[in-house]
A and B are shown apart, each in its own frame.
Chain A
Amino acid sequence: MARYVLRRILLALPALLGLVLLTFVLVRVVPADPAAMLAGDAATPAQIAEIRARYGLDQPLWQQAVTHVRQVLTGDLGSSIFSGRPVVEEIGFRLPATLELTFVALLLSVVLGVPLGLLAALDHNGPVDQIVRLLSVGGLAIAGFWLAIMLQLVFSMELDLLPLRGRMDVALGNPPRFSGLFLLDSLLAGRFDMAGNALKHLVLPAVTLCLPGLASIARFTRSGVLETLQKDFVLYARAAGYSPFRLATIYVLRNAVTVTVTQVGLLFGALISGAVAVEAIFDWPGLGTYAVQAILAADYKALLAVTLVVGVVYAVVNVLVDVVQALVDPRVAEQLK
């Protein structure tokens, strides 16, 4: 098992190195020149050139790439050109916010998606199945940014139930920083008022973000369950008089878990992408808003770092997913050998 895990990690490494290079090429070819922005309004072209030289922006692109890769390998992502602070520190603040949001959204999709998929499978081709399908496919079809604005208007403005923006009421301050996940940190600090408040702030963005995930998990659970229901051992059990519901929950669902776990890995990437628009609208200070700000300001150091971090998170999640899958179903590990 340990060997499998190791092999899985080693397989991810070249992909990450490739990612570093690819992002560099993409981001650095962006024509926006931070030097002109830094120098300000009344700067002369000579002053701009001087700043460009100071930040190494005048070197040939390949040389900048080599420097960049070397820095990244030593764990140094550089400083944001605009804020002047180490990018690692800024991402340290932003990443937990995004992780908290995506994790809760993922949880919602699983908690709602699996039962829906199960119900649909049990009523295969029946009315429940069709309704669930329509709903879940509809979830995949709604533009998150549009839904987000609608939810704000209904639940914050009209019904006055939930906050519009941010992670916590301003008056409450922030919980003591431990993991950066406000929900967890508040609970650890015993501040239940803060945890409740953080939860309230999470509702709208997480609901918006969870819909596509919910839809695909429901769909894959459905087909996983259907497939398992055809298996011989289930047919025997059925013949032995087990009710389909009991069968479904005990045997079938366990088998369907494998399918769901795989989906979680794939979904994670989609969730982080989706977070860009959702974070912007709910003013969630995560990586998505950071990326947008970096793009608007041509802060390529920050942009490179975000892309890289998201890539790494994605790779880690997928390694984890594979490992979990191998634990649930030893055949997976066999296959890889």
Chain B
Amino acid sequence: MRRLLRDPVATLGLLLVLFAVVVAAFAPWLAPYPEDAFESHLLQRLQPPSREFLFGTDYLGRDIFSRVILGTRNALAVAVSVVVASMLIGVPMGLVAGWRDNWVSDVLMRITDIFLAVPQLILALALGQLMSPGLTTAMAALSLTYWPFFTRTVYAETRRLRGALFVDALAGLGASPSRILLLHVLPNAAPAILVRATIGMGFTILTAAILGFLGVGAAPPSPDWGLAVAEARQHLPESWWFATFPGLAILLLVLGFNLLGDGLRDVADPRLRRSRR
């Protein structure tokens, strides 16, 4: 942790993420017009930023500042649930596949390859049609396409660790494979998983925004950022504020996660750590 904080760029990332978490937690109290999550005020549509509406208003007269704040919850909720769901699928598969070189391992990794080969957005779009489009669908689609990355990471880590001296020692003492995997291999693979998860958060927020933009993500009137940019595109360039602020919000939060992930990677990766002397 201390090493992380010594890295100014990673610290910036951490601050951005923490800021977003705080905003999300207190969103209804921070937003000046929390009812604008659903309320429309036709007479004040598309007003430029002013003291009353810091980020201006959208095409239904809703305060964009409030909606950007309220949308933080959405973004974080999507990121966390997708990453957790992907981990729940991907990590066990990686552990099992990486433990021994046998047919189980082969089958698992081939399945992983199949899912890696499916174009992510197209799968998400198709799924969006399959179930009715909406945030849940988008999250399911993203989890379904993101877990292979965890499998790959954990697979590589497990293979690396299974040859380690302490694993041999444990096996020699008669510890069961599941015990070794869960209590010894997994904790050692945790840093790599953490890095992957952090980067996955940023990636997920971005992809969810693209889905919102293409109309299969969050459903209106949700204050989703991607959806807001999609709604705003027809009002450019006159109502520039409509697309700009939600777009910036996406940028900052994803940037935060990516910087943090980048910093964590440097800390976690032993090879790079060595170079840090």
Contacts and interface: CB of A to CB of B under 8 A. Distances in A.
Indicate whether A and B are direct neighbours in the complex (CB within 8 Å): yes
Secondary structure call for the B interface: helix
A34 interface: no
B125 interface: yes
B169 interface: no
B251 A143 contact: yes
Given A18-B111, A230-B274, A307-B122, A140 B258 contact: yes
A124 B275 contact: yes
Nearest to B127: A26
A40 B269 CA distance: 60
Contacts of B110: 14-15, 18
Interface string A20-34: 001100110111100
Interface in B236-277: 236-237, 243, 247, 250-252, 254-255, 258-259, 262, 269, 271-272, 274-276
Nearest to B131: A31
Q: How big is chain A's contact interface, by range?
A: 35 or more
23 contacts: A15-B117, A18-B110, A19-B118, A30-B130, A31-B130, A133-B259, A134-B9, A137-B9, A137-B259, A141-B206, A141-B255, A223-B272, A226-B272, A230-B274, A269-B117, A276-B121, A277-B213, A277-B214, A292-B214, A306-B122, A307-B122, A310-B122, A311-B119
Interface string B90-133: 00000000000000000000110111111111110111011000
Given A18-B110, A303-B122, 20 more contacts: A15-B114, A27-B126, A31-B130, A137-B259, A138-B251, A140-B258, A142-B251, A143-B251, A145-B230, A149-B233, A149-B236, A153-B236, A226-B272, A227-B275, A230-B274, A230-B275, A269-B120, A273-B119, A292-B214, A307-B126
Interface of A: 12, 14-16, 18-19, 22-23, 26-27, 29-32, 124-125, 130, 133-134, 137-138, 140-146, 149, 153, 157, 219, 223, 226-227, 229-230, 269-270, 272-274, 276-277, 280, 288, 291-292, 295, 298, 303, 306-307, 310-311, 314-315
Contact of B119 (A12, A14, A269): A269
B46 to A, nearest CB: 17
Nearest to A157: B237
Contacts of A288: 121
Given A14-B110, A295-B126, A145 B210 contact: yes
B56 interface: no
Contacts of B197: none
Given A149-B236, A226-B272, A15 B113 contact: yes
B229 A146 contact: yes
B229 A143 contact: yes
A26 B130 contact: yes
A201 B204 CA distance: 30
In this complex, the member of A146, A226, A270, A291 whose beta carbon has the largest number of chain B beta carbons within 10 angstroms is A146
A32 B275 CA distance: 56
A219 B45 CA distance: 43
